Amino acid sequence: MANRTVTDETQPDNEGLSDEGTTASGKDFVGKASSAAGGWGALKSVGKRILKSGQPLTSVRTLLKANQPHGFDCPGCAWGDPEHGSSFEFCENGVKAVSWEATKERVTPDFFENHTVSDLQQWSDYDLEHQGRLTQPMRYNLETDKYEPVAWEDAFREIGEELNKLPDPNLAEFYTSGRTSNEAAFLYQMFIRLYGTNNMPDCSNMCHEASGVALTEAIGIGKGTVSLEDFDECDAIFCVGQNPGTNHPRMLAELRKAVENGAKVVVFNPLKEKGLKRFADPQEKLEMIRGGSEATSTDYFCPRLGGDMAIFRGMGKIVFEAEDRAQREGLPAILDHTFIADHAAGIDEYRELCAQTSWEQIEDQSGLSRDDIAYCADIYMKSERVIATWAMGITQHRHSVPTIREIASFMLLRGNIGKPGAGLCPVRGHSNVQGDRTVGINEKAPKPLLDAMEKELGVPLPREPGHNVLHTIGAMLEGSAKAFVAMGGNFARATPDSALVAEAFSKMPLAVHVATKLNHGHLMTGQKSFILPCLGRTEIDKNSKGVAQMVTVEDSMSMVHGSGGINLPASKHLRSEVKIVAGIAKATVGSAVVDWDALGDDNDLIRDMIARVLPIYGDFNAQVRKPRGFRLYNGASHRDFKTPNSKANFTTHDLPEQTEWQRSQNDDGVFVLQTFRSHDQYNTTVYGMDDRYRGVFGLRDIVFMNPKDMRRIGVKARGLVDVVGVHDDGIERVCKGFRVVPYDTPLGCVAGYYPEMNALVPHGQFGTQSHTPASKSVMVRFRVIADDDA
Ligand SMILES: Nc1nc2c(c(=O)[nH]1)N[C@H]1C(S)=C(S)[C@@H](COP(=O)(O)OP(=O)(O)OC[C@H]3O[C@@H](n4cnc5c(=O)[nH]c(N)nc54)[C@H](O)[C@@H]3O)O[C@H]1N2
Ligand SMILES: Nc1nc2c(c(=O)[nH]1)N[C@H]1C(S)=C(S)[C@@H](COP(=O)(O)OP(=O)(O)OC[C@H]3O[C@@H](n4cnc5c(=O)[nH]c(N)nc54)[C@H](O)[C@@H]3O)O[C@H]1N2
Ligand SMILES: [Mo]
């Protein structure tokens, strides 16, 4: 079977782009893209990063401890750690995340004395975070428009007083970003529930919520089923809607190994992401010397935005047709009938859905031909063990839940769940986003968790579901939200309609940010605002008895690891997230039910409590002290499906009547925009202005567009446009002054960077069931300001 890469007329190959703009004028932001991910480019970037941190020795020492049995868990991503790592796993992403935290730059009270908040609001995301680590708790003074130092205990007392003034606890919103450890998150949700609300918006609502919802329905657990070892044993991987070269670089080693082992790696991605083509592993010394690189995929297809559900439906059709043929001709079965009979429900309805879906609809939504889809289905049918992986390219559409149900159904057909070398793998984003959910950061937590919490605490807790991110935005915009507390993150910049959200923040009576670095969210000050600086994961955290404290996190493969810092804290005033939560909680709900001082001083006590409430943690304190931790029980990976009917369920969703791409075709000049990450950012943290793998340098206000579309709207390379939102809710959305970059993206599909483009993402367009903002299918049009780089 020859390998395929789709490069037809609608999808011109953009390798030619590399030759553009190599002269050195300020305007030439399109340059030579790397030919493979990793390699010397990555090493060079790492070297620069380490020098830039100002603490080269500390940085190197710190890196050697990343993801090692006795080090800290790398805050870079949620990819799993190998069982027998010898030296540290090199990863450009990890280096950036670690040196970002280990910088020698500091944001001291003097800094705030020298700059008003209104001043700082004019700074870029990049400039703000590059000022370095926050050093002292600060309180906003409305009169001077400056942040001023405040003692920890005063901050806690005032925050408690403000929260207790609210007539209804449901007027407060408690956000969590996914770096927060299990211990801090558990304490935080306990405090929030004792305070009286389930308003727990978290970054997961904007991220893998759709995976959680879809997989819970399909297989009874909202998590992936694979472990890292499965990648060594698989025959095929479908890698869909993700860019691991940038966002989970350690995954490239697995993809590459799979290709070397003879497995097929099939990619569906509208863009030809470098890392999904070739990877030079900086850990392979010989290869580095020879300048070689190896393939990370065998077959690459570029569907239209939002077209993946149609592809999987099409492949399902082909599989059923092949099964019918096999039965007619007395050939071996294609479906895994034993698995389906023993473990699955609803195949007849799914077969019917597949039969009813027309090829015309499948080809139009996906942009792939029936032939191409049949080719992929053939790979699936010839493989005994198949893994499907995905990330934001799948989860940030209106029909994300149906799409993930479709992927799961397709995998069930041949029993590809719960056997070695096979399974589902939603690749999580933040390093502990999965763990935060497991320990109770959930606005609609399952009843058993709430029952167990009540039993542990001996008091009733609120049962009404609380706010997710979109509900919180709604409450802010209508003015009913009166307090906002953030455990990390950058809510105001990460959320859709960021311009509106920013405005709403200024009316908020109380805003509290627990953070490591300054960001725009902190500058959208309400009447009372606090910045509470915390220790980062790389830093030593000692309790009052001088005993070093460890925290724990859970990766995408349900592995729970310990993480203990090794660097000295950035400032002697910093406190751990655990201690900060305990401080706010004590000042707000008092210590009658929970001894916050004791828990805040000993993470072992928190872990004991977690294990009492959530028995899956077993003897948590003992297990987590084993090298590399332990795996939480994952029923689906043992074919123990914890669904109401105890079966894995096939989907019952129709394809969307129209995808956004199809809708955009009704109106000349309307495009579908995906908002994604450059190679030099971590969500709202902008490390630098380059996107090396895509060949873009020194600029982020850009739009990637197919050259044919550029001709259609009358703009040349580097032309200047305003990007205007097309959404019929009467709100004007515009991003002004963006440069157009010709790029190999399907016709009608454009791309740009988040968070800059969040002003265009409408909060009213979100995933059915998941409430995830549809930030990969935003309808826009263009106003051409200058047709070339004038
Ligand atoms: N360095 C770095 N690492 C990170 C992060 C970071 O910002 N920087 N963020 C972390 C977080 S929180 C997360 S959630 C993950 C995000 O990891 P990713 O999901 O890889 O992140 P995105 O940059 O949003 O990339 C989306 C990818 O999906 C493709 N895509 C978009 N729409 C579609 C579609 O409709 N169909 C298909 N098939 N593909 C599509 C895009 O072309 C792009 O390659 O990474 C984590 N790791
Ligand atoms: N348009 C668009 N919007 C998106 C996305 C998209 O693809 N497109 N992706 C979405 C996704 S997947 C996600 S996960 C969200 C991310 O949303 P968030 O998680 O809210 O955002 P981050 O940018 O990761 O947060 C960065 C801030 O976290 C703080 N921080 C860093 N480390 C720590 C720590 O150890 N402790 C504490 N307390 N604070 C810390 C720092 O102050 C830093 O400024 O954005 C979402 N928004
Ligand atoms: Mo994420």
pLDDT higher than threshold 80 for residue 690: yes
* CB-ligand 2 contact for 491 (6 Å cutoff): yes
Q: In this predicted structure, what is the pLDDT of residue 774?
A: 97
Per-residue DSSP letter, 610? H
Least confident range from 25-29, 179-183, 522-526, 530-534: namely 25-29
- State the virtual CA torsion across 292, 95, 393, 650 in degrees, nearest 10: 90
The whole-angstrom separation of Cα 753 and Cα 701 is: 7
pLDDT higher than threshold 60 for residue 306: yes
What residue's CA is closest to ligand 2, atom 28? Answer: 489
Over range 494-520, report the average pLDDT. 93
Whether domain 209-427 has CATH 3.40.640.10: the reply is no
The whole-angstrom separation of Cα 584 and Cα 540 is: 22
pLDDT higher than threshold 90 for residue 67: no
pLDDT interval class at 627 (50, 70, 90): confident
* CB-ligand 2 contact for 246 (6 Å cutoff): no
Q: In this predicted structure, what is the pLDDT of residue 23?
A: 26
CA of 260 from ligand 3 middle (Å) equals: 30
pLDDT higher than threshold 60 for residue 755: yes
* CB-ligand 2 contact for 177 (6 Å cutoff): yes
Over range 682-704, report the average pLDDT. 94
What residue's CA is closest to ligand 2, atom 23? Answer: 684
What residue's CA is closest to ligand 1, atom 22? Answer: 676
**Shared fold status for 107-203+432-536+571-593 and 209-427:** no
Pick 48 or 751 by higher pLDDT.
751
CA of 107 from ligand 1 middle (Å) equals: 31
pLDDT interval class at 78 (50, 70, 90): confident
Q: In this predicted structure, what is the pLDDT of residue 745?
A: 96
pLDDT interval class at 393 (50, 70, 90): very high
472: enclosing H helix or E strand:
helix 469-478
Total residue length of the chain: 790
pLDDT higher than threshold 50 for residue 331: yes
Over range 497-522, report the average pLDDT. 93
What residues contact 256, with CB distance under 8 A and at least 6 apart?
279, 281, 294, 295, 296
406-437 tens-digit pLDDT = 999 999 999 999 999 999 999 999 989 999 99
Could you give the C-alpha distances from 640 to 617, 637, 646, in angstroms and in order?
Answer: 18, 7, 7
Range 84-93, long-range pairs (CB < 8 A, 24+ positions): 87/283, 88/63, 88/64, 89/250, 89/283, 90/46, 90/282, 90/283, 91/66, 91/249, 91/250, 92/38, 92/42, 92/45, 92/46, 92/249, 93/246, 93/247, 93/248, 93/249, 93/250, 93/682
Q: In this predicted structure, what is the pLDDT of residue 790?
A: 72
> Which atom of ligand 1 approaches the CA of 751 most closely?
42
Q: In this predicted structure, what is the pLDDT of residue 789?
A: 82
Ligand 1 pocket test: pick from 6, 93, 269, 490 the residue with the most ligand atoms within 8 Å of its Cβ: 269
Q: In this predicted structure, what is the pLDDT of residue 249?
A: 87
Q: In this predicted structure, what is the pLDDT of residue 602?
A: 98
Over range 8-27, report the average pLDDT. 34
CA of 8 from ligand 1 middle (Å) equals: 24
> Which atom of ligand 2 approaches the CA of 433 most closely?
14
Pick 790 or 576 by higher pLDDT.
576
Over range 711-734, report the average pLDDT. 95
Q: In this predicted structure, what is the pLDDT of residue 39?
A: 72
96-139 tens-digit pLDDT = 888 888 889 999 999 999 999 999 999 998 899 999 999 999 99
Q: In this predicted structure, what is the pLDDT of residue 505?
A: 87
What residue's CA is closest to ligand 1, atom 13? Answer: 429
Quote the distance between the C-alpha of residue 18 and its chain's center: 29
The whole-angstrom separation of Cα 29 and Cα 93 is: 22
* CB-ligand 2 contact for 753 (6 Å cutoff): no
Over range 462-474, report the average pLDDT. 97
* CB-ligand 2 contact for 685 (6 Å cutoff): yes
What kind of fold does domain 107-203+432-536+571-593 have according to CATH?
Answer: Rossmann fold (3.40.50)
* CB-ligand 2 contact for 107 (6 Å cutoff): no
Find the residues whose C-beta lies inside 6 A of ligand 1: 77, 93, 207, 240-243, 246-248, 268-271, 273, 303, 305-306, 308, 391-393, 429-430, 674, 676-677, 681-683, 776
DSSP string, 20-68: TT-S--TT--B-PPPSSEEHHHHHHHHHHHHHHTT-HHHHHHHHHTBTS
pLDDT interval class at 9 (50, 70, 90): very low
Q: What is the percent of the chain with per-residue pLDDT over 90, rounded to a whole number? A: 79
pLDDT higher than threshold 90 for residue 57: no
Over range 721-744, report the average pLDDT. 96
CA of 83 from ligand 3 middle (Å) equals: 25
257-300 tens-digit pLDDT = 999 999 999 999 999 999 898 887 776 666 666 666 789 999 99
Over range 572-586, report the average pLDDT. 98
The whole-angstrom separation of Cα 747 and Cα 281 is: 33
Q: In this predicted structure, what is the pLDDT of residue 699?
A: 93
pLDDT interval class at 95 (50, 70, 90): confident
> Which atom of ligand 2 approaches the CA of 676 most closely?
7
Each domain of the chain, given as residue ranges in start order, spans 14-20+668-789, 38-101, 107-203+432-536+571-593, 209-427
Over range 365-383, report the average pLDDT. 98
- Scored b (16 or more CB within 10 A) or e, 144-157 reads eebbebbeeeebbb
**Taking the domain 14-20+668-789, which CATH number applies?**
2.40.40.20
CA of 177 from ligand 2 middle (Å) equals: 6
142-189 tens-digit pLDDT = 999 999 999 999 999 999 999 999 999 999 999 999 999 999 999 999
pLDDT higher than threshold 90 for residue 198: yes
The whole-angstrom separation of Cα 13 and Cα 15 is: 6
Look over the chain and give the mean of its residue pLDDT values, rounded to a whole number. 91
pLDDT higher than threshold 90 for residue 195: yes
766-778 tens-digit pLDDT = 999 999 999 999 9
Measured from the alpha carbon of residue 242, the closest ligand is: 1
